[in-house]
Structure 1
Amino acid sequence: MQTRIPCVLMRGGTSRGPYFLASDLPEDTATRDAVLLAAMGSPHQLQVDGIGGANTLTSKVAIVSRSAEPGVDVDYLFAQVAVDRAVVDTRPNCGNMLAGVGPFAIEAGLVPVQGRETLVRIRNRNTGALVEAVVQTPDGAVTYEGDAAIPGVNGTAAPIQLRFREVAGAKTGRLFPTGRRTETIEGVAVTLVDCAMPVMLLRAADVGADADAAPAAIDGDKALLARLEALRLEAGRRMGFGDVTDSVVPKVALLGPAAAGSGAALAARYLTPHAVHKSLAVTGGIAIATAARVPGTVAEGIAARDEPGMVRIAHPSGVLDVALELNGEEDVAWAGVLRTARRIFEGNLLIPARIWAGKQALRAAAE
């Protein structure tokens, strides 16, 4: 026997995964996580028995519900499902998957169309951040067709404007959780920043790496990855997360000068955290951009001056533009990025009934 669960597969930014209504999933966290592991086919390096794409960027889940909070339309819980381990991590946010939340919520009937553009106010339940998404809705419906292009995605699509608010100290309560803008871990200068995503920033050159290197080159350097993981574990402890061995936070970003002619302020290679992102996570980009604007961080020491209010970050697929407004050096008013999304398929996801019999079966048993 198999259980049918309504599901929509979407690309959000440069990520992809299933989007669920929270009401269609188990309320119990352990059972919900078991369902998500079965849905994605984890743990298995190819995720051959599920819909995961055998990569951290395509092993992500968005869970959406109508919000009871005044002034907020929907709640969004992000889940990072490990590929080769039975781990579901709901501590981080994902700004790329977030790009699909607005369109999904409108088409699920959670948010009414408001005109040619529809504003969807989203509370991220992982970090508490508030995000405003402007979705294109001409002719009374979501459109995915448009002229916007983002690095890491073929072709063009309708633009989705995301403006992140309340992002400073989203997980720890402080932009710089340790109170220091630069500190040393095992002889390496790092900046531990919590802005949209907790991230450990360091200069690539300080660990013998290159911030312009191809992701495969960094992924293939096992000694480097082991060193970065040791630094990350200590960073997680200092940031107040305890043992982060089985968590994807904090992330890691290797920084360096941008290549001549790229038009970027600096270059970054972003680890998720055990493999290099093929482009750059939105939340990670916000953390890097914020640090680049604050004196005394490792990022500020690298970044060239950008146009006012904008930080351009070179990554393996192109350049991410982060619009940023600061109220003083450690108060982020908002950060904005442009993303796109696409609805790929809709229907029912099937999982073994032994994992979860479904809500209909639970209701029948209760009667």
Structure 2
Amino acid sequence: MTTMNSIPCMIMRGGTSRGPFLRMRDLPDSQEEQAEILLNLMGSGHALQIDGIGGGDPLTSKVAIVERSSDLAADVDYLFAQVDVLSRRVDFNPNCGNMLSAVGPYAIETGLVEVQEGTTIVRVRNLNTQRLIECHVPTPGRQVTYEGDTRISGVPGEAAGIQLSFLDIVGTKTGALLPTGQASDTIEGIEVTCLDAATPIIMIDAADLGLSGQESPAELDDHRAMLERLERIRREAGHRMGLGDVSQSVLPKPVLVSAPADDTSTLCTRYFVPHRCHKAIAVTGAIAVATAVSVPGTVANRIAVEAGRLEADGQLPQVKLEHPSGFIDLDVEHRCGNPVDIARVSLIRTARKIMSGTIFYSLPSAPGPDMLTSKAS
């Protein structure tokens, strides 16, 4: 027996992701009940998510839940949910920096934040990581503008640039930049770096898996033996990072790194989510890789040194990463010249409002037992 329900919704593109934006006040308090609503709203359990608004891809099966913040340091709270396409599971554990780029505009559009002339700074507390992000939203004439001349790889056309500044990014899930206590570990005979900055990742030199690092996402997704090995390494890395059994979690995210093909780039990346290769790179994943570049002994640092990309002092305040859809540029600010003490990482994204209205979904009488994989910390 099912019941038809409805909820106010705004669908937005944030960076290279897209999904519904909801108010926390419109959802039940229980995260299990929230998960059931999101699964039915997105149409999960079907490859096309045909009975919902999901796009049949992890990048378009995401949800942002936003509300006024009780934290005096923030304007709004943002809870991210990764909704599985095929399985009836929702992961509230990771953050999504791409969806985050639309949180500022959404907060202004819905009256959660008072708009300012020129630029409105929206201070966002991410509930998944308990970290603060400043979103600089263009608001000429005291209105959110989505039109502009900023291009980001992976998104067609141009739009208004939104600056995101991630504060206090170290140890978001594990409490340490290098959660295993060292910059390099060996798993299954392969050198890996386990690092937690904005999100936990494991970095591997693509060459150590017999790859060039320039493969397309489709080629990597078809490489079953490599994906199986990568998953074994990821699970062992999760244990060593103190994350426990990560078989049902998307964290840590694997990243293959290699020397860049472009002379102006720092590194080439292939980012996994975690069982399919991202068609670009997640914002939080890019922050983690950019942070690692200046940390002595990491896989990223070693490859950047070998490629002659580091400055004389061993630091690189501006990092440009290649990914399958193009490039992403990040500014890394260190405190007192310390490569492992990061003050903030900033980058430019774009967003667009796609629709605003009411969304309908069916809700079974009782939630399923396996729909929630992990709760936000």
TM class by shorter chain equals over 0.9
1:95 touches 1:282 (CA, 8 Å); kept in 2? yes
Which amino acid is 1:345 matched to?
M
2:256 touches 2:269 (CA, 8 Å); kept in 1? yes
Which of 80, 83, 95 is the equivalent residue of 2:82?
80
2:174 touches 2:241 (CA, 8 Å); kept in 1? yes
Q: How is 1:178-217 mapped onto 2 (pairs within 5 angstroms)?
A: 178-217=180-219
Cα 1:342/1:306, change in 2 over 3 Å: farther
- 1:153-197 per-residue CA deviation (whole Å, 9 max, x = no partner) reads 000001100000011001111001111100101101000000001
2:289 touches 2:300 (CA, 8 Å); kept in 1? yes
Look up the SS of the partner of 1:302 in the other structure. helix
2:37 touches 2:363 (CA, 8 Å); kept in 1? no
Q: Indicate whether 1:346 and 2:348 are aligned.
A: no
Post-superposition shift, 1:61? 0.5
Q: How is 1:1-367 mapped onto 2 (pairs within 5 angstroms)?
A: 1-261=3-263, 263-303=264-304, 304-305=308-309, 308-327=316-335, 328-354=338-364
1:43 touches 1:83 (CA, 8 Å); kept in 2? yes
Regions of 4+ moved over 4 Å: none
Residue 374 of structure 2 is matched in structure 1 by: none
Post-superposition shift, 1:99? 0.2
Superposition TM-score, scaled by structure 2 size: 0.92
Q: Distance in 2 between matches of 1:112 and 1:269?
A: 39
Post-superposition shift, 1:208? 1.0
2:160 touches 2:350 (CA, 8 Å); kept in 1? yes
Which amino acid is 1:156 matched to?
E
Which amino acid is 2:133 matched to?
V
Post-superposition shift, 1:210? 2.4
Taking only aligned residues, the RMSD between alpha carbons, in angstroms, comes to 1.3
Return 5+ residue gaps in structure 1 as ranges: 357-367
Post-superposition shift, 1:209? 1.8
Superposition TM-score, scaled by structure 1 size: 0.95
Look up the SS of the partner of 1:352 in the other structure. strand
Q: Distance in 1 between matches of 2:51 and 2:265?
A: 41
Post-superposition shift, 1:26? 1.4
Which amino acid is 1:195 matched to?
A
Q: How many residues align?
A: 356
Q: Distance in 2 between matches of 1:107 and 1:203?
A: 43
- 1:261-291 per-residue CA deviation (whole Å, 9 max, x = no partner) reads 4x21110000000000000111000000111
Q: Distance in 2 between matches of 1:36 and 1:43?
A: 12
Q: Distance in 2 between matches of 1:138 and 1:260?
A: 36
Q: Percent identity?
A: 51
Post-superposition shift, 1:55? 0.6
1:254 touches 1:268 (CA, 8 Å); kept in 2? yes
Post-superposition shift, 1:355? 5.3
